[in-house]
Homo-oligomer: A and B are copies of this chain.
Amino acid sequence: MVTPEGTLELSLVEVPITEPQADQVMIRVEASPINPSDLGLLLGGADMSTAQVSVTSGHPLVTASISEGAMRSLAGRVGVSMPVGNEGAGTVIAAGTSDAAQALLGRTVAVAGGAMYAQFRCVSAALCLVLPEGTPARVGASSFVNPLTALGMVETMRREGHSALVHTAAASNLGQMLNRLCLEENVPLVNVVRKPEQEEILTTLGATYVCNSTSPTFMTDLSAAISETSATLAFDAIGGGKLASQILTAMEAASLATPQSYSRYGSTIHKQVYIYGGLDPSPTVLTRGFGMAWGLGGWLLTTFLQSLEPAAFQSLRERVASGLTTTFASTYTKEVSLAEALQPEAFSVYSKQATGEKYLINPHTM
């Protein structure tokens, strides 16, 4: 909850459990990841270095200050306690009277239902992805956000007429998944990372093109990789700074390398960067030396999913379920309880969104 005074309050609250309606099931949530996409709602842009932890009704209560600037974009949620947790997995322990709901009784399911940082969650049976028999909840906890984002990137590439991809923050859980997916699908992928150890992670995973944006040869490396792959579409998790501009510049240079008549408007090949994250919250700075055939924009998984036919969505979900231990496998650095997630040793780590630091909540541990 964000208070009108500009304070974030993170609390654990006990609420009554409702009976599932005919088409609903009750899930005992056993695993729910803390994704970068959860942090916006969870932390509300608060300055977590100001965080104080106290205890209320036997549960931790975290309070932290939100700057005036951050408050401006939070008007819509002030005073409203908002449950958090985009996705998770667990066991169906009760079901409504419908056949669809009854069929799920006892099964382990994954769901992107929101409000998953909870011990129990009642959702529509139709939202549930039934995990293959014997799959632990932990393995299915991240069945939606990252897998569908990776699949959505490749699908967007095909739909919009591109044939290769650039991805930034490429050593992330999602980035590793995208790397595996692109290798399987023979989609050339240029991975952009920020640290030598991240280069190594991707090289070990068989990535062909890995460029380090902090290297002095970055622009040369990036241009060479984009030239070899003919990538004209990038997905950028960083958002701020000059990275999007550098990618467009490298794409334009690659486009102009093919002989063509000079035009002061640059190449006619369309170059596109989609910003899907905001690891760097500073302004995006574009040095427009990449012609006129370019686009930059936001990319949101839910908007992409809404553009799919139901059958296409179902087929993506089934593909994820069958690849949970291979293509779409997630790894976690730490498993915490709900109360532990509200302790400084946890939030000081996961609030940084550092690559390779991914937390999993198990709401039934203490």
* B288 & A275 in contact (Cβ 8 Å cutoff): yes
Q: Complex formed: what's the CA distance from A319 to B292 in Å?
A: 27
Contact: B288 with A278, CB < 8 Å? yes
Residues of B near A300 (CB, < 8 A) are 265, 292-293
Task: Tell yes or no: A344 within 8 A of B by CB.
Answer: no
Chain B residues near A275 (CB-CB < 8 A): 288
Among B260, B263, B284, B303, the residue within 8 A (CB) of A288 is: B284
Tell me if A239 is interfacial: C-beta within 8 Å of chain B. yes
Q: Bits for A276-307, please: 1 = Cβ < 8 Å to B, else 0.
A: 10100101111111011111111110110000
Interface size, chain A (Cβ < 8 Å) = 44
Contact B295 A76 (CB under 8 A): no
A339 on the interface (CB 8 Å rule)? no
* A287 contacts across to B, CB distance below 8 A: 283
One of B41, B76, B292, B297 near A303 (C-beta < 8 A): B292
Q: Contacts A40-B264, A262-B77, A262-B80 given: A299-B288 contact, CB under 8 Å?
A: no
Bound-state Cα–Cα, A260 to B80, Å: 14
Given A288-B239, A296-B296, A298-B292, does the pair A256, B303 have CB atoms closer than 8 Å? no
Known: A283-B286, A284-B288. A294 touches B294 (CB 8 A): no
User: Which B residues are in CB contact (< 8 Å) with A284?
Assistant: 285-286, 288
Chain B residues with Cβ under 8 A from A299's Cβ?
292
Please pick, from B294, B298, B303, the residue contacting A298 in the complex, using a CB distance under 8 A: B294
Q: Is A67 an interface residue (CB 8 A)?
A: no
Interface flags for A233-262 (1: CB within 8 Å of B; 0: not) read 000000110000100000000001000111
Name the B residues within 8 Å of A240 (CB-CB). 288
Residue of B nearest to A272 (CB): B297
Are B295 and A297 in contact, with the CB atoms below 8 A?
Answer: yes
The yes or no answer to A156 lying at the interface (CB within 8 A) is no
The 9 closest A-B pairs by CB, nearest first: A292-B298, A76-B262, A295-B297, A284-B286, A40-B264, A292-B300, A77-B262, A296-B296, A283-B287
